[in-house]
Amino acid sequence: MTLPSNIDGVLVLWGDRLFYPGNRIVRGATPKLSAEAPRQRAREIRARIEATVVRRAPQVMVKVTGGGRGMRAIAAHLRYISKNGRLDIEDELGDVQRGQGALHDRVDDWRYGGSYIADEAPPGQRREAFNIMLSMPRGTDPLAVQRAARAFAKEELGDHKYVMVLHDHQANPHVHVSVRAESRHGKRLNPRKADLARWRETFAEKLRELGIDAEASRQATRGSMRTSEALWRIKAREDGRLHSDSRRSVKSSPRGTRAEATEAWMQVGRALAMSADPTDRDLARSITAFIREMPARPHAEPSRTSEVKPVSRAIDIERLR
């Protein structure tokens, strides 16, 4: 039988590929993980496996929805998220204000608080602000979402001017965060794919600290075939401006990414199935059911230059016991 230390090693090796793929690519993406003992890391992997395949924990959403290149566009977005000053606007210092006067003060602060931002930016001008939305599914406590978003912003955007506004009047509670691109030290924010992955992890962590079940796993890890619906379509439907409710087809996960995730799940399942701990073996059976429930990929036209071997969609855990 596989020793527990070996099982933990397999969980760390393959669990990282499922839940922390950035560790292999981006230095410092989640530095606290690399500093922990393997046994502690394995416990974290087990917890995330249980959240994904047993509890099916709600997934957080963190999106960069745009950004302004000139102060006119930035001010328009601030008016939009605050409903023209009718909703509370909270800044990076924790000050909460509302009203059109507060909006005007914020615009002046951003315009002059650092490099000057003109009303209109020339073509090709870099963004002077980024708009971020942090959201959870229907039924989540909006105040918990707000508190988690506040903690997220302090950790990830602490060197920048930003404002945040809670929207709890729509289906999914969410927080809009508008952040000035230039930090107090002159460093500019430029979100990349790895940053978004880390932001999702941070937001989910802050929610869990508040007792809210939340996960931030990739689509490939969840076996998802579709990306999130376009934000403009969601908002248009909520506002009654969408005449047709038909969903457009969207791209699925890359074939290689989906296959790699399936292989990782199989390796983790094999290791847990050989454990002396009945809890591990129960988790292995849940992984088997999870893999079997993954939607099958649509058949693609065969390539003339290469042959793609199919990946097994399930592992018979009982045969490994």
Does residue 34 carry a pLDDT above 80?
Answer: no
Mean pLDDT in residue range 10-15:
90
Q: Please give the pLDDT value at position 217.
A: 84
- Residue 242 banded pLDDT, cuts 50, 70, 90: low
Does residue 19 carry a pLDDT above 90?
Answer: no
What is the share, in percent, of the chain residues with pLDDT greater than 70?
A: 75
Number of helices followed by number of strands (H, E) in the chain: 11, 6
Q: Are 90 and 157 in contact (CB under 8 A)?
A: no
Mean pLDDT in residue range 152-175:
94
Tokens 């709890």 map to which residue? 168
The string of DSSP letters for 172-223 reads: S-EEEEEEESB-TTSPBP---HHHHHHHHHHHHHHHHHTT---B---HHHHT
Q: What value, to the nearest 5°, has the Cα angle with vertex 55 and ends 35 and 251?
A: 85
Helix axes 71-81, 100-112, angle to 10 degrees: 150
Tokens 């690519």 map to which residue? 25
What secondary structure letter does DSSP report for 59?
A: B
- Residue 313 banded pLDDT, cuts 50, 70, 90: very low
Query: What backbone phi and psi angles, to 5 degrees, belong to 304?
Result: -80, -20
CA 283/CA 50 separation, integer angstroms: 7
- Complete domains list, the chain, with CATH: 4-57+254-297+309-320 (no CATH), 61-209 (3.30.930.30)
Residue 238 parent element (H or E)? helix 231-238
Q: Please give the pLDDT value at position 214.
A: 93
Give pTM, 2 decimals. Answer: 0.74
Does residue 9 carry a pLDDT above 80?
Answer: yes
Does residue 58 carry a pLDDT above 50?
Answer: yes
Does residue 90 carry a pLDDT above 90?
Answer: yes
Looking at the chain, how many residues does it have?
A: 321
Nearest Cα neighbor of 12 from 63, 58, 57, 46 is 46
What is the share, in percent, of the chain residues with pLDDT greater than 90?
A: 55
Does residue 24 carry a pLDDT above 80?
Answer: no
Q: Is 159 exposed, middle or buried (0-12, 13-18, 19+ CB in 10 A)?
A: middle
CA dihedral 126, 181, 199, 194 (to 10 degrees): 40
Distance of CA 242 to the CA centre of its chain: 26
- Residue 30 banded pLDDT, cuts 50, 70, 90: very low
Q: Please give the pLDDT value at position 27.
A: 35
- Residue 317 banded pLDDT, cuts 50, 70, 90: very low
Q: Are 45 and 13 in contact (CB under 8 A)?
A: no
Mean of the per-residue pLDDT values for the chain? 81
- Residue 244 banded pLDDT, cuts 50, 70, 90: low
